[in-house]
Structure 1
Amino acid sequence: MKNYVMAGAVVLSAFLFFGCGGQNKQKTEKEMNADTIKTVCTRVTLQKDSLLATLTLDSMKVTWIRDNASSRLMPRTLFPDATDALMNSLSLQEGIPASVSTFLIECDGKRMLFDTGVGAPDSRMMEGLKSLNVKPEDIDCLFITHFHGDHIGGMMKDGKVVFPKAEVYASKAEYDAWMKMPADKRAQVETTMNAYKDRLHLFAFGDTLPGNVLPMEAIGHTPGHTVYKAGKLLVIGDLFHGFALQKDHPEICAQYDMDKTGAIKSRKYYLQYARENGVVMAGMHLPVPAFAE
């Protein structure tokens, strides 16, 4: 069994997320968060009051940055297809530990940021970048998994772009679908993408992007939802909103999934892909520190 290292040299025993079962007794939110620390990716070093976590994969340094200011539980009501009996058996009646996360990859002299969080007054992404001595203008590429506000919100502040030099990459399927939505639904997307229009690149799934990043189709949560493969890392966006539930029950959707059939298919596919290819998954709503293997 590997060790899980936290700041302050606190070492916890760790289990792999796949095959990790729930317990029957009721748990507090604090206890559930402690469990997630012990069960996520076993090669991660947590830092800065659980704001950052680092992982090295070959020559690639990956840093998880937590955007949410306080601990986060996805409410039980978000998963109406899950039975009470199942939630009770997994001790998830009070909610499912989660996060709002972004990921920074540093490789071959490039800094690549995957999603940007909410951009709320108490969001912590910028604090995380600052603690890494990374300025917004240091970001070379922004890879966007989809256009929900908790993924593109950090691209703008006070009506201005936050990342003045970053090239922005998003799927054409996602862009085209949002541009056809009612004006009130697409307003944030339209404003943000127009602000970056001179540096916005719309790709097709399977294109090779800078840094040898491969965008892979994962439609369902949104019409152009994208998973990115970078070496042995798989940035999975919003495939999971409640990993402790959905890892063993991918057929259960969160209400946020726009196309349930597509979301289920994508979850099942990438769970199997991760197992077969030995990749580490990095998810925007996985529990702290948002890596799983």
Structure 2
Amino acid sequence: MWVVRKNEIAVKNRKWSCVAVMMATLLFVGCGGQSKQKTESEMNTDSTNVASDQIQMQKDSMLATLTLDGMKVTWIRDNAQARLMPRTLFPDASDALIDSLSLQNGVPASISTFLVEKDGIRMLFDTGMGAPDSQLLEELKALHISPEDINYLFITHFHGDHIGGMMKNDSVFFPRAEVYASQVEYDAWMKMPAEQKAQVEKTMKAYKNHLHLFAFGDTLPGNIVAMNAVGHTPGHTVFQVGKLLVIGDLFHGAALQVIHPEICAQYDMDKKGAIKSRKYYLQYARENGLTIAGMHLPVPAFMK
């Protein structure tokens, strides 16, 4: 644990609250406000400015790269169309709060994966939906990377929009990748009803010869630390690699939840745990100067 004086924490919290308000103002004006509706390209520019001035956004708004701590980090957008999380996904948020942030039409988000290239190794964090219109394969092609070129898969949790891209029909999609997932997550899903765990069971069985189950706190290949972020799912994991923090589904609506981390999305299986994890890692990232990569953050899914 770190030690920070109370006045330092207060200053940092105010700074991050201001950043969150900027996100809400810049990204979502026009979603019920008085100004005109912004294009996604305009929203990309706004969120890029908030996240980091080092991000290089591709024109198609599907890829963005940054160099961080001696590694190349590439955001890959899996969703083909612009994505809004519906207001109904956040029942704990009051109408007054939603109105004040101009989020009545929904909260801009994404379905994202992150490719980290370090010391000649390619590591992919989550794999998107694997839907007919998913963009992961096409964007890997744009980077001149084939599925066979991926050395490691690190899975934050077992929801379908994170493991769906691991399979192509009934075959593994990343045949040479070693797969790392939480032992706690695996055990919990294996105890769920058959219809609920069907995709997980099929996928993990297909990768059984390459599957490695870790404990929280383990250091994995690439010097990646697996960290306890339970709440969204029983074994939800945050990964830290250098100054990058891959947070999975800590946020489903950043413009709302960065300011109010106590607000959960309906997808959170354990609300109390999800709130605790969200607050903890917001503070942890602030105090350690980390760049956050989130699977449902708005384009380009980086935040600092």
Work out whether the TM-score is over 0.5: yes
In the other structure, the counterpart of 1:277 is 288
Q: CA deviation at 1:18?
A: 4.8
In the other structure, the counterpart of 1:72 is 83
More helix per residue: 2
In the other structure, the counterpart of 1:291 is 302
Tell me if structure 2 keeps the 8 A contact 1:105–1:113: yes
Residues in 1 aligned to 2:44 and 2:122: alpha-carbon distance in whole angstroms: 28
In the other structure, the counterpart of 1:202 is 213
Tell me if structure 2 keeps the 8 A contact 1:32–1:97: no
Tell me if structure 1 keeps the 8 A contact 2:43–2:299: no
* Bigger Cα displacement from structure 2, 37-46 vs 206-215: 37-46
Q: CA deviation at 1:158?
A: 1.3
Instruction: Compute the TM-score of the two structures, normalised by the length of structure 2.
Output: 0.88
Q: Does 1:248 align with 2:259?
A: yes
1:32-111 equivalent positions in 2, closer than 5 A: 33=40, 34-35=42-43, 37-39=45-47, 40-42=50-52, 43-111=54-122
Tell me if structure 1 keeps the 8 A contact 2:110–2:301: yes
1:205-216 equivalent positions in 2, closer than 5 A: 205-216=216-227
Q: CA deviation at 1:30?
A: 4.6
Unaligned runs of 5+ in 1: 1-15
Instruction: Compute the TM-score of the two structures, normalised by the length of structure 1.
Output: 0.92
Residues in 2 aligned to 1:58 and 1:29: alpha-carbon distance in whole angstroms: 39
Residues in 2 aligned to 1:44 and 1:35: alpha-carbon distance in whole angstroms: 14
In the other structure, the counterpart of 1:5 is none
In the other structure, the counterpart of 1:187 is 198
Q: CA deviation at 1:119?
A: 0.2
Tell me if structure 1 keeps the 8 A contact 2:127–2:166: yes
Closer, same or farther in 2 for the Cα pair 1:259/1:60, shift >3 Å? same
Q: CA deviation at 1:37?
A: 3.4
Q: CA deviation at 1:32?
A: 7.6
Specify the code of the residue in structure 1 equivalent to 2:38: E
Count of paired positions: 278
Aligned CA RMSD, in angstroms, stands at 1.6
Of 163, 168, 174, which aligns to 1:152?
A: 163
Which deviations, in whole Å up to 9, do the C-alpha atoms of 1:3-27 show, x marking residues without a partner? xxxxxxxxxxxxx975232448724
Q: Secondary structure at the match of 1:62?
A: strand
Q: Secondary structure at the match of 2:128?
A: coil
Tell me if structure 2 keeps the 8 A contact 1:36–1:97: no
